[in-house]
Structures are given as C-alpha cells and as structure tokens.
Amino acid sequence: MIKGVAAAAGALATLGGGSASAQSKQIKLAFCSQLLCVVPYEVARAGGHFAKEELNVELVYTRGGNAAMQALVGSAVDYAATSLDVALQAYVRGADIRRFATTGRLPLFAVATAPDNAQEIKRIEDLAGKTIGVSALGNADHALMLFLLKRANVDPTTVQFATLGPNLLEALRQGQVDAGLVQEPALTLVEKAGGRVLVNAMDTKDAEQFLGGPYEFMGVAVRAGEIEARRAEMEKLARALRTALQSLQSMSPEELVKALPPALTTGANLDEMRQVLARYRGSLYPTTVAIDLNASARVAESLKTAGLIPPDANTSGLFDTSIAGAG
C-alpha cells in the first residue's frame, strides 16, 4: 500500500481534474500526496462535484504541503490545500495568502515507537534523550511533535530529530530511530510489527487528551490579491468540497477507494486502504468547510509553543471567512 501511495509523490504531478465544459477555465489546486489528505478532493473530482459547479479543476500532487504552498506563492497554481501550520508559517513569513475553507479537523499523524522499543518507551515523557523520525524540520509532523513534547514537559533540546522524508516506515520498523511520526497506512504496519502507539492524533479521544480538542488541519488558501476577482469561483470550490465532505461520510469504503486515481491504488493493499478510510473518515473530515477559528487558534498556539512562529505573531489576518463562514 505504501508503494502505491508513494508512487503519486511527484514534484508536481497531475492525476486528474473535474470534467466541466470544454470552455471552462482550468484552475490548478495543489496539495500533498498523502492518502488521507487527498480523499475529499478526489471524491469531489470523481463524484462530479467540481463539474456540477462548472469548475474544471486540475489536481496537482506535490511532495508535501510546503511544496504546495511554494507553488501557490510562486503563482504556479491557483489554490493550495495544506495543513494549517504550513499556511501559518508562510503567512508569518510574509506570504500574502488567505485561507478560506477547511477539509480536515485533525492532524494526519501518530507518534509510534520502533518495535524493539515498545517496552521501553510507553509515553511521550519517555522520548527524552531519544531519536525521533520526522519528514523534515518545520513540517507539520515536526511542529506537532514539538508541541507534544512541550505539553509533556519534555525539553525538546534533549531529543534528536532525524529527517527521513515522507516515507520513514522502514527506518522506524528497523529501529534506525526510536520513534517516529507516521501516517496511515504506515501506522497500521508499525502496529502489526509490534510498535507502540503513543499518540494517535487522528483519533478524537487522543486529540482531546493530547491536543486539547479539534486541531484545524487541511484547508485551502488563495493569493490575497486575487480574492475579489475569484470570489464566485472560490464560492463554487467551497460548495463542491462541502458536498464531497458530506457524501464521503455515507460512501462505502469500496466506493471511497474507487474514487482515488489508479496512481494511488496500483500495487496497494486495497483491503488495508478500505479499513483505514472506514476507521478515520468520521474523525478526520468535517461535513462543512467553514473554518473553525477556535481549532485554528489552537494550531497557532502550538506553533508558538514549539518556537516555529514568534510568540507575538498575529495570525488572525490569514483567515477569510467571507466565503465559507466560520465554525
């Protein structure tokens, strides 16, 4: 399954778009290639929700949210769907962007130990002095780990971070790191190998315990200077994504997998993929695209706590609630 998902992770790889009329202007929407990130967007494409709004959407897969945000700021795409921490850090650094819709309400990560360390490391506090695998410094998984360490009163300077890219499964399974931030289906595979799950941020109960509640994650941003010219288009995009979010909650796991492009499913363990989607869709995906400002503030505070944005940073200007409203 990992092999199939990883095959989609091109630098800027197009896997498909909505089939609106031939005269419709094509718009490009970029996001990371992680399985659980893409589901609402691919359901919107496959279910014809973009087309019903007369949108011709080209979905552009990138190597992580930072690459998607860079594509937006550099005008290579029209919209970028990223984790909120990526948008916040870009905004604080001066990117003139606005986030106007959300498609995810929990981080797509879990903290798990290497199988050989499962008996030694039983809680976040036990990670002091250990090596933790993350995709890259400053990415969503690194930010989340720093926040969790601070909340557990663990000095982050006592931890060594190993940057292993998005597919750190084998390094974790082989014990090259003591613990790591993994997504699905890597989490399922690590558990089967004997690893211990310390925090599963994709689970509502763990999110309440370790994060303090909903933690705004995936959402769509646009260049601020283009909002007025694109307002009608943005409203259509928000409606299409809202319909997709609502419909994916009632689709069967088989239908959800079929909505994904072949590049994401070829060579994958489809049974595991169906199980993952059935397990997490209720907790990860909202049924509205309205921005949860309280959950967004929680993310901003976590980045301040982790030292990734200044403690006095004012991030309220990032959000434009005139398109989809606020939760």
Q: What is the pLDDT of residue 5?
A: 38
Say whether 83 sits in a helix, a strand or coil: strand
Condensed to tens digits (0 to 9), the pLDDT of residues 121-147 reads 999 999 999 999 998 887 788 889 999
> Nearest-CA neighbor of 104 among 83, 122, 120, 78?
83
CA pair distance 323, 88, nearest whole angstrom = 19
Check pLDDT > 50 for residue 241.
Answer: yes
Q: What is the pLDDT of residue 139?
A: 78
pLDDT band of residue 15 (cuts 50, 70, 90) is low
Say whether 178 sits in a helix, a strand or coil: coil
Q: If you average pLDDT over residues 213-225, what whole number do you get? A: 94
Mean pLDDT for all residues in the chain: 90
Q: If you average pLDDT over residues 261-272, what whole number do you get? A: 86
Q: What is the pLDDT of residue 281?
A: 94
Condensed to tens digits (0 to 9), the pLDDT of residues 111-123 reads 999 999 999 999 9
Q: Considering only 103-107, 139-143, 160-164, 184-188, which range has the smallest mean pLDDT?
A: 139-143
pLDDT band of residue 13 (cuts 50, 70, 90) is low
- Torsion angles phi and psi, residue 152, rounded to 5: -90, 10
Check pLDDT > 90 for residue 165.
Answer: no
Residue 49 half-sphere exposure toward CB, CA atoms < 13 A = 23
Q: What is the pLDDT of residue 38?
A: 92
**Token pair belonging to 210:** 């370790």
CA pair distance 169, 156, nearest whole angstrom = 23
pTM of this prediction?
Answer: 0.86
Q: If you average pLDDT over residues 166-173, what whole number do you get? A: 88
Tell me 25's DSSP state.
P
> Nearest-CA neighbor of 39 among 216, 206, 261?
261
Q: What is the pLDDT of residue 167?
A: 75
Q: What is the pLDDT of residue 11?
A: 40
CA pair distance 147, 132, nearest whole angstrom = 14
CA pair distance 289, 132, nearest whole angstrom = 33
Check pLDDT > 60 for residue 18.
Answer: no
Condensed to tens digits (0 to 9), the pLDDT of residues 270-311 reads 998 999 999 999 999 999 999 999 999 999 988 998 888 999
Share of the chain above pLDDT 70, in %: 92
Q: Looking at the DSSP assignment, which residues form a beta bridge with residue 80?
A: 30, 221
**Token pair belonging to 185:** 């289906």
Q: If you average pLDDT over residues 206-217, what whole number do you get? A: 91
Condensed to tens digits (0 to 9), the pLDDT of residues 45-99 reads 999 999 999 999 999 999 888 899 999 999 999 999 999 999 999 999 999 999 9
**Token pair belonging to 150:** 């601070």
More confident residue, 325 or 192: 192
Measured CA distances, 84 to 90, 98, 204, 223, 315 (Å): 10, 11, 18, 15, 11
Q: Residue type for 160, please?
A: Q
Check pLDDT > 60 for residue 19.
Answer: no
Check pLDDT > 80 for residue 327.
Answer: no
What are the b/e assignments for 2-39, b being 16+ CB within 10 Å? Answer: bebbbbbbeeeeebbbbebeeebeebbbbbbbbbbbbb
